[in-house]
Amino acid sequence: KQEVTQIPAALSVPEGENLVLNCSFTDSAIYNLQWFRQDPGKGLTSLLLIQSSQREQTSGRLNASLDKSSGRSTLYIAASQPGDSATYLCAVIYSNSGYALNFGKGTSLLVTP
């Protein structure tokens, strides 16, 4: 069964800290991996998309890496701010499962002032 797992399930850090969110997937044959942010009662905001041929993507204070061979991705958030508080979701499109995103259950992040 193709699964996506995110660790930790919840994380609380003081403002200003750098932090890492982890995502693992069970099959290295993927099209791409996408990181999203979800605020309570809202939809998903796409943060970064990493193609299977890429190793990392960067946007502002966010950096996402991809290691297909080990089935892992990390989302690095630099200099965290209270506005970063949200649930962060990792999703993978497996090569043999069409075009469906397979989601982890997310990491709930709280950045305290």
Partner 1 sequence: NAGVMQNPRHLVRRRGQEARLRCSPMKGHSHVYWYRQLPEEGLKFMVYLQKENIIDESGMPKERFSAEFPKEGPSILRIQQVVRGDSAAYFCASSGPGQGNQPQHFGDGTRLSIL
Residue closer to partner 1, measured from CB, 54 or 85: 54
Give the whole-angstrom CA distance, residue 113 versus residue 46. Answer: 25
Given 23, 68, 104, 107, the residue binding partner 1 (CB under 8 A): 104
Report the candidate in 56, 57, 51, 60 with the shortest Cα–Cα distance to residue 83: 60
Q: Residues 13, 19, 32, 63: which binds partner 1 (CB under 8 A)?
A: 32
Coil, strand or helix at 48: strand
Q: Is 43 in the site for partner 1 (CB under 8 A)?
A: yes
**Residue 58 makes contact with partner 1 by CB under 8 A:** no
Assess 55 for contact with partner 1 (CB under 8 A). no
CB 7 within 8 A of CB 109: no
Q: Is 57 in the site for partner 1 (CB under 8 A)?
A: no
